[in-house]
């Protein structure tokens, strides 16, 4: 007996994707150049195609239909018909089941199969050939979802930018080895929402977690051949689907929402690292999985002289076509979905310069930014740019518009070079300590436009930064050719692991120097997960494919790791207690030299630095005085913000330098708050008078405080 065909109604072109309304499901898919589109339905296991429905309705190049009676849980995919003419940019192949770009859930994994390619693998004509094999068994299936969720009284922490402290983490890497997390939850969203994980974040004092990519992504085929996997996740295949490999249940959407709600209750914001610049389909020799087979010409940037090939500003083989309005719509729909339905608090945009490219140039007022600024939802969340890509003119640090913050690579490089001991760095360092006004004091931008970091997922960990001068990436299977060769690292005298006490002590001091600098600078500090307790990647500075102990955080801490953790907690607590380190505005007149009411610069003789001293190649020591009574700002309630006075002294030379202490209130003495030459906090009972000499040790940072009595101090408290 033949199974009765499902009833099909015209449906609507919006919203795109699959939408359950309680009575049935609407399906909508954009394709400008398709000649026919079929909706394919599958059984509950995703193994057998149960129906193939031609979508006869088309409105504004969106194909659509409605299935009355269909419910959440329905599995589906698309087959799209049209010309296969790679030289004209068209790569339609109806033998390939395609993923819905707006799908909210996927079930099953993408299998490594030659059938997933639109051409015959191994053919002399390469992608000019045509493959007739059906790939449905090798493809995951889209799933219709029920979006309902009890958010209870969820409210975003809404932490002010200048009060924000970001913790960059990998969902699996942070939780998979934690002994306090139930084994079934390790490596998952539920693991990150568990009490032990949240307790660590709260004790640390961070206000936001920045999650490395959690959009559904693909393991690169060449990595699978090497027995490796894509650990970082910068290989997105779906912009709406939370990656199911990080789910402890079969409902990743529900589990992700629960994680966000739980973190919000702990006062912690959730920022997503998102990859909208390219997809996992790769270059002209990549697989046909979604956008390529739906409408290659519309979705991707193609070379005009030969549309068989892709413009590649990302180093991954392709670049999304941000000049097409439907591509912009796809990205904007995705961003709004994660804010409105998943309640995330912001985004960090991978290779964000690519999103700004109009034709070949980076246009900082491109269409994408115009749309973001006008959007009533997205203009209110935290927006962070990785302000570069791999194309010509792609390095755009400091050039993003108002409303955006940026990963400040110039901060990273200046701080690394300074503590490495390179000469001629103090002028640049002065700008980085004060919020990089040379980069951001325009278009109404503030110090918090600078996301300050010393390390991030891409590169060395902090421990490796002070332990290795050469990358050690052989485990990646590329003969150590991958990864950056210019790391501005210093191994303190020995490459890699050592048992020499003096080397280990110096490395510990250097770590404290980097961390103290990070948390005492104006701008927004970002800490890489595990840096607070000595995580190492064994010298690997490109561990994107190491889903193993090389990347995972080891929670079995040695005494020196415990000491480092305590130091980081002390530094974060100090920053949160003193608003002078987290100003909302640049210092007066945005100058670094001469007498300024709220900041002064001193040489070791206790004298204000002259213009010529900023550019002395041998100078590696300086002092920065911050006056707490001249912050000139108000808190959210309109109350004036005041603080103690502080003197920050930095010495990147190898020698002890006697630093003569300045002072403007002769009756108040300086109290030590931080001295990185010491393994523990300095004894605060020791006070120093104006004009006395502080023995500033080689390769150390010291922070002194002059209390001002009863002052207003704004402190972030857990919600």
* Separation between Cα atoms, residue 692 and residue 365, nearest integer Å: 53
Residue 703 · residue 567 · CB < 8 Å: no
Residue 451's region, left for phi above 0, alpha for psi from -120 to 50, else beta, is beta
Query: Is 154 part of the annotated catalytic residue set?
Result: no
- Token pair, residue 171, equals 């969902």
Distance CA 60, CA 534 (A): 55
Contacts with 15 (C-beta within 8 Å, 6 or more apart), sequence order = 26, 28, 102, 333
- Distant-in-sequence contacts of 301-307, Cβ < 8 A, 24+ apart: 302/89, 306/87, 307/86, 307/87, 307/88, 307/89
> Whose CA is closest to 165, among 454, 534, 582?
582
Q: Exposed/middle/buried for 589, CB within 10 Å: 0-12, 13-18, 19+?
A: exposed
As a whole number of Å, the end-to-end CA separation of the chain is 62
Q: How is 328-393 classified by DSSP, letter by letter?
A: HHHHHHHHHHHHHTT---EEEETTGGGGGEETTEE-TT-HHHHHHHH-TTGGGSEEEE----SSTT
Active-site annotation holder among 210, 386, 428, 675: 386
The two three-digit tokens of residue 49, written as one number: 């195609």
Crossing angle of the two packed helices 291-299 and 325-340, in degrees rounded to 10:
120
Residue tagged 């002010």 (tokens): 160
Residue with tokens 């990185």: 676
Distance CA 410, CA 159 (A): 25
User: How many Å apart are CA 625 and CA 705, to the nearest integer?
Assistant: 10
Q: How far apart are CA 562 and CA 574, in angstroms?
A: 18
Residue 386 bears catalytic tag: yes
Residue 77, classed as helix, strand or coil, is strand
Distance from C-alpha of 325 to C-alpha of 303, rounded to nearest angstrom: 19
Locus of tokens 């997205």:
378
Nearest partner of 89 among 321, 392, 301, 329, judged by Cα: 301
115 near 104, Cβ under 8 Å? no
Q: Percentage helix, strand, coil, to 5, in the chain?
A: 25, 20, 55
Catalytic residue selected from 100, 350, 561, 675: 350
What's 75's DSSP letter?
E
Beta strands (DSSP E) in 215-305 are 269-274
Tokens at residue 506, please?
């110096």
* Residue for token pair 């110090």: 447
Give the 3-state DSSP-derived string for 607-658, with helices as H, strands as E and coil as C.
Answer: CECCHHHHHCCCCCEEEEEECHHHCCCECCCCCECCCCEEEEEEECCCCCEE
Structure tokens at 663: 């002072």
Convert 212-233 to b/e letters by CB count within 10 Å (16 or more is b): bbbbbbbbbbebeeeebbbbbb
User: What is the set of active-site residues?
Assistant: 350, 386
């Amino acid at each position: 007996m033949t199974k009765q065909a499902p009833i099909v109604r015209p449906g609507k072109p919006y919203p795109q994707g699959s939408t359950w309304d309680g009575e049935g499901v609407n399906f909508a898919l954009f394709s400008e150049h398709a000649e026919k589109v079929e909706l394919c339905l599958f059984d509950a296991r995703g193994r057998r195609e149960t129906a193939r429905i031609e979508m006869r309705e088309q409105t504004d190049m969106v194909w659509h239909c409605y299935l009355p009676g269909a419910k959440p849980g329905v599995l589906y995919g698309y087959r799209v018909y049209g010309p296969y003419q790679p030289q004209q940019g068209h790569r339609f192949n109806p033998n390939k089941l395609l993923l819905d770009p707006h799908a909210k859930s996927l079930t099953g994994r993408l299998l490594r199969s030659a059938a997933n390619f639109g051409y015959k693998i191994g053919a002399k004509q390469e992608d000019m050939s045509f493959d007739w094999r059906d790939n449905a068994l090798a493809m995951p299936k889209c799933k219709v979802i029920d979006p309902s969720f009890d958010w209870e009284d969820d409210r975003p922490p809404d932490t002010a930018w200048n009060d924000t402290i970001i913790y960059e983490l990998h969902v699996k890497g942070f939780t998979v080895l934690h002994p306090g997390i139930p084994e079934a939850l390790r490596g998952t969203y539920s693991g990150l929402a568990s009490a032990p994980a949240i307790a660590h974040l709260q004790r640390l004092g961070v206000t936001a977690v920045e999650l490395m990519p959690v959009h559904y992504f693909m393991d690169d085929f060449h990595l699978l051949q090497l027995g490796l996997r894509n650990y970082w996740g910068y290989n997105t295949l779906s912009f709406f689907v939370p990656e199911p490999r990080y789910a402890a249940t079969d409902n990743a959407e529900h589990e992700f929402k629960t994680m966000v709600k739980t973190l919000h209750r702990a006062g912690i914001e959730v920022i997503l690292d998102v990859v909208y610049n390219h997809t996992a389909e790769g270059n002209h020799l990549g697989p046909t999985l979604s956008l390529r087979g739906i409408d290659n010409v519309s979705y991707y940037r193609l070379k005009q002289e030969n549309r068989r090939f892709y413009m590649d500003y990302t180093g991954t083989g392709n670049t999304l076509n941000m000049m097409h309005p439907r591509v912009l719509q796809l990205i904007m729909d995705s961003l709004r979905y994660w804010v409105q339905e998943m309640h995330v608090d912001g985004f960090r945009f991978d290779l964000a310069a690519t999103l700004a490219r109009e034709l070949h140039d980076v246009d900082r007022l491109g269409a994408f930014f115009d749309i973001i600024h006008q959007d009533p939802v997205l203009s209110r969340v935290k927006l962070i740019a990785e302000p570069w890509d791999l194309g010509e003119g792609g390095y755009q640090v400091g050039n993003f518009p108002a409303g955006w913050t940026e990963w400040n690579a110039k901060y990273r490089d200046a701080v690394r070079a300074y503590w490495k001991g390179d000469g001629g760095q103090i002028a640049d360092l002065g700008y980085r300590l004060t919020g990089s006004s040379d980069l951001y004091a325009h278009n109404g931008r503030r110090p918090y436009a600078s996301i300050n970091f010393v390390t991030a997922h891409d590169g060395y960990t902090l421990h490796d930064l002070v332990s290795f001068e050469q990358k050690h990436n052989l485990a990646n299977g590329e003969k150590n050719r991958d990864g950056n060769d210019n790391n501005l690292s210093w191994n303190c005298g020995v490459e890699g692991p050592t048992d020499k006490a003096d080397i280990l002590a110096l490395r510990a001091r250097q770590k404290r120097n980097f961390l103290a600098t990070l948390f005492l600078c104006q701008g927004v500090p970002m800490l890489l997960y595990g840096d607070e307790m000595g995580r190492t990647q064994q010298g690997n500075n490109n561990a994107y494919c190491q889903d193993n102990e090389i990347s995972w955080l080891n929670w079995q801490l040695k005494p020196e790791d415990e000491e480092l953790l305590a130091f980081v907690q002390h530094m974060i607590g100090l920053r949160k207690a003193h608003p002078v380190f987290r100003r909302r505005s640049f210092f007066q007149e945005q100058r670094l030299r001469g007498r300024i009411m709220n900041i002064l610069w001193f040489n070791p003789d206790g004298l204000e630095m002259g213009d010529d001293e900023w550019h002395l190649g041998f100078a590696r020591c300086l002092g920065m005085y911050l006056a707490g009574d001249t912050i000139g700002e108000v808190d959210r309630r309109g109350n004036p913000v005041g603080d103690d006075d502080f003197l920050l002294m930095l010495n990147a030379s190898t020698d002890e330098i006697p630093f003569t202490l300045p002072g403007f209130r002769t009756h108040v003495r300086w109290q030590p708050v931080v001295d990185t030459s010491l393994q523990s906090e300095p004894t605060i009972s020791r006070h120093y008078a104006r004009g006395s000499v502080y023995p500033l040790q080689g390769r150390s940072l010291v922070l002194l405080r002059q209390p001002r009595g009863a002052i207003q101090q704004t402190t972030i408290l857990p919600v």
